[in-house]
A and B are shown apart, each in its own frame.
Chain A
């Protein structure tokens, strides 16, 4: 260094340059974060600002008439479909998760797990197409609640199965062994120890799955069909409306009232989905606090 007096300055310049590059990279990261946050806040704010000023009870309490009226038929339809999915996909998904976490081993388990993950990766419109040609056409069910909720269930069962399996796997082995030592039989252990401990996780997965099914459109268009009258409680031969259909159809109509309904439906969808996801977060937070105390 003594032989090259300029070396120190050169190192200084390089360090300064490296630090500047680092600072620039960090600002780029912050810009990226803004890019992630801004669109979604924008979407929610815009839908709310278009929907809220005109929102009234009549939107929720009257069914659609032509391009006007309200959204009661769509709201009831969405709730009906979601309830059906909760029963059907909830049962199959939770049961499947129990099997994968408690009984499955070896090759069969990995095949079933893989099939479930692959099923979740199929594009929703492909599932909808198959639901249409099989349930609606080949089974002669027509556009109906049954066809819609089976198609939708196929899409969310893998998610429920996965969250149930993961929650059950996280039950501490010591709990199960303790119960075993106390002489409980496997059925009692599963019911009173494993399922009870895993319940917050299972319920969270179920709620998020319902949030997903509330927001789906493509699987329902050609299975549930559409109807402006209030849905009948019939599994077949009775098409019904749902909120995503209103968004998808009305925005493009040459009538201000129809576009308004489209935004109203979008707003209700966002509220429903965010409420469900927030509920799931609260359950997770409560469960983890409980665990810390215990």
Chain B
């Protein structure tokens, strides 16, 4: 039994901080002990995994960074070297003779394919999200919400399979030649002219990537649009604005920062996407795309398609060079990810989805 004084002090403590966040204050005898220990260890695990990944990547990449130098990011060459000659030591790094690496082509390929994906996915997702949240009834709206979730769950190899065996050949046979023939020879549009290839390349990859990031951008912006107060929109409509004017002048500006965040998150996913791109890129190394249909490669796809052949390099430089590329890719995607989250957290209550955004 507690004494009266203890009860009073307990009451005082409780009334002092009525708005304080609810936290358990287990006594030393609390049966929560093991749970608390296990959960603390588990909660630290992701942090440890993150540090381990960073540490291992840097450790792996260091010799490659030393050997390849800063030129790695601006040169365009991919020569694992001559494995039949005696390995040579340069800058304290043992490497096959004549080995030379420059990732400019795969960096450009990564950025270009993701930008193409974004140009397609952003208007499609915003349009779809606006129609879903503002024009459709609640039943259709819910059904389409579930549909977007299912879409996000389709494995990326299945997207790749569809891209390489169905949509790629179809586009290169029926659509690309017509576009290439009629595109005027002016700035930017010039990129759509020339040889259209066999359907594996930059534009096909961009289209597949767009299909993959649409669910992320669309479902996040749908949540954002649902947050815009109805009264504000109705007020705008009462002032005589048309549906489109309400959307472009009230709804979208109200949540614009959130939309930018969702877009950057989609971009980060496109930058890091591996399997689908590896299946529709055409997998060339060391050549820059000459037009929008050209075969190309991305950092992620290069890692997945060349890691097994890189193992042949007895000095390990090829594997370490892939670590250098992976490190660069990871830093860029993390920057995009963290930036997007900070931006959205600052201005909105909707948190961006974690993980694949299902």
Q: A120-B354, A123-B333, A190-B32 are in contact. Are A43 and B162 (CB under 8 A)?
A: yes
The contact sample of 17 A-B pairs, CB cut-off 8 A, is A18-B242, A26-B135, A29-B130, A29-B131, A33-B131, A44-B154, A46-B162, A91-B42, A93-B42, A121-B333, A124-B272, A125-B303, A176-B22, A247-B160, A270-B154, A277-B358, A278-B150
Docked complex: A78-97 residues within 8 A CB-CB of B: 91-96
CA distance A273 to B307 in the complex (A): 28
Residues of B within 8 A of A273 (CB): 153-155
Residues of A within 8 A of B38 (CB): 95
A263 within 8 A of B: yes
Residues of B within 8 A of A99 (CB): 36, 39-40, 42-43
Secondary structure call for the B interface: helix
B113 within 8 A of A: no
Q: Name, among B158, B272, B322, the residue most crowded by chain A CB atoms within 10 Å (CB to CB).
A: B158
Interface residue range, chain A? 35 or more
CA distance A103 to B37 in the complex (A): 11
Residues of A within 8 A of B275 (CB): 217-218, 244, 248
B128-A29 in contact (CB<8A): yes
Q: A36-B218, A37-B147, A132-B307 are in contact. Are A161 and B153 (CB under 8 A)?
A: no
CA distance A273 to B26 in the complex (A): 41
State how many angstroms separate the Cβ of A268 from the closest Cβ of chain B: 11
CA distance A18 to B322 in the complex (A): 55
Q: Name, among A99, A104, A273, the residue most crowded by chain B CB atoms within 10 Å (CB to CB).
A: A99
Q: A22-B245, A124-B272 are in contact. Are A186 and B162 (CB under 8 A)?
A: no
A170 within 8 A of B: no
Our pick among A19, A39, A216 for the contact of B155 (Cβ within 8 Å) is A216
A8 within 8 A of B: no
A185 within 8 A of B: yes
A158 within 8 A of B: yes
B234 within 8 A of A: no
Q: A96-B39, A212-B153, A217-B155 are in contact. Are A173 and B127 (CB under 8 A)?
A: no
Q: A35-B124, A121-B333, A251-B161 are in contact. Are A212 and B307 (CB under 8 A)?
A: no
B23-A102 in contact (CB<8A): yes
Chain A, Cβ-Cβ closest to B336 = A121
Please provide the 8 A-B residue pairs with the shortest distance between their CB atoms, ordered closest to farther.
A32-B127, A123-B272, A215-B155, A95-B42, A121-B337, A187-B31, A159-B355, A22-B242
A56 within 8 A of B: no
State how many angstroms separate the Cβ of B329 from the closest Cβ of chain A: 6
A43-B303 in contact (CB<8A): no
Residues of B within 8 A of A98 (CB): 35, 39
Q: A124-B272, A217-B157 are in contact. Are A28 and B127 (CB under 8 A)?
A: yes
Chain A, Cβ-Cβ closest to B126 = A32
CA distance A214 to B158 in the complex (A): 12
Q: A40-B211, A159-B354 are in contact. Are A266 and B42 (CB under 8 A)?
A: no
Which of the 9-residue segments B3-11, B44-52, B288-296 touches chain A?
B44-52
Residues of B within 8 A of A276 (CB): 153
**Chain B residues within 8 Å of A, Cβ to Cβ:** 21-24, 26, 30-32, 35-36, 38-47, 49-50, 52-53, 56-57, 60, 123-128, 130-132, 135, 144, 146-151, 153-162, 164-166, 211, 214, 218, 242-245, 247, 268, 271-275, 279, 300, 303-304, 307-308, 319, 322-323, 326, 329-330, 333-334, 336-338, 341, 354-356, 358
Residues of A within 8 A of B268 (CB): 121
CA distance A248 to B165 in the complex (A): 12
State how many angstroms separate the Cβ of A224 from the closest Cβ of chain B: 14
Residues of A within 8 A of B31 (CB): 185-188
**Chain A residues within 8 Å of B, Cβ to Cβ:** 18-19, 21-22, 25-26, 28-33, 35-37, 39-40, 42-44, 46-47, 91-96, 98-100, 102-105, 111-112, 114-130, 132-134, 154-159, 161-162, 173, 176, 185-188, 190, 208-209, 211-212, 214-218, 221-222, 244, 247-248, 251, 259, 262-263, 266, 269-270, 273-274, 276-278, 281
Q: Name, among B47, B60, B341, the residue most crowded by chain A CB atoms within 10 Å (CB to CB).
A: B47
Give 16 new A-B contacts, CB below 8 A, not counting A33-B128, A222-B308.
Answer: A28-B127, A47-B158, A95-B43, A96-B43, A99-B42, A103-B24, A104-B43, A114-B338, A115-B46, A119-B49, A126-B303, A187-B30, A187-B31, A208-B358, A215-B157, A266-B157
Chain B, Cβ-Cβ closest to A38 = B211
CA distance A18 to B43 in the complex (A): 55
Residues of A within 8 A of B26 (CB): 186-187
Residues of A within 8 A of B341 (CB): 117
Our pick among B44, B211, B271 for the contact of A123 (Cβ within 8 Å) is B271
State how many angstroms separate the Cβ of A276 from the closest Cβ of chain B: 8
Q: A21-B244, A29-B127 are in contact. Are A251 and B164 (CB under 8 A)?
A: yes
CA distance A212 to B154 in the complex (A): 9
Residues of B within 8 A of A26 (CB): 131, 135, 243-244
CA distance A134 to B49 in the complex (A): 12
Chain A, Cβ-Cβ closest to B23 = A105
Q: Name, among A120, A123, A218, A277, the residue most crowded by chain B CB atoms within 10 Å (CB to CB).
A: A123
Chain B, Cβ-Cβ closest to A247 = B157
B47-A112 in contact (CB<8A): yes
